[in-house]
Amino acid sequence: MSSRFSNNSAEFGDGASLLMANAIQIALNYLQRSGEMDDYTETCEFLADKVEAMIRQGQRNRLVLANRAISAFQHYRNARTIEPPLAG
């Protein structure tokens, strides 16, 4: 995991850091099994950022956190793989 994840864990406290770790693990497992993960480190950092933001906004359901992070990653991945039109 990224260094941001370990630093934020201390900031959140044990309950929120465990929640964050569980949600990220659920999302990672899904993305890995579905073949949607290209770069493990990039994916971890993306998911950690998304889950952290949702926890800071008050979300505490690990499945909601994981599902929303998965959806955000899928949108991000699709957006970066779409090639821009050629200028003519």
Tell me if 88 is assigned to some domain. no
**Which of helix, strand or coil describes residue 23?**
helix
Q: What is the pLDDT along the chain (88 residues), one digit of tens a residue?
A: 444 444 444 466 778 999 999 999 999 999 999 999 999 999 999 999 999 999 999 999 999 999 999 999 999 999 887 766 666 5
Tell me if 9 is assigned to some domain. yes
pLDDT for 14:
79
Tell me if 50 is assigned to some domain. yes
Cα separation, 11 vs 69, in Å, equals 20
**71: containing domain:** 3-81
DSSP state at residue 38: S
Number of domains making up the chain: 1
pLDDT for 80:
80
pLDDT for 8:
47
**Which of helix, strand or coil describes residue 24?**
helix
pLDDT for 35:
95
Tell me if 87 is assigned to some domain. no
pLDDT for 9:
44
Q: Which residues of the chain form beta strands (DSSP E)?
A: none
> What tokens were used for 19?
């929640």
Token pair 């770069």: residue:
39
Tell me if 22 is assigned to some domain. yes
> What tokens were used for 29?
């497992």
Q: By CB neighbour count within 10 A (0-12 exposed, 13-18 middle, 19+ buried), where does 12 fall? A: middle
Structure pTM? 0.78
**Which of helix, strand or coil describes residue 59?**
coil
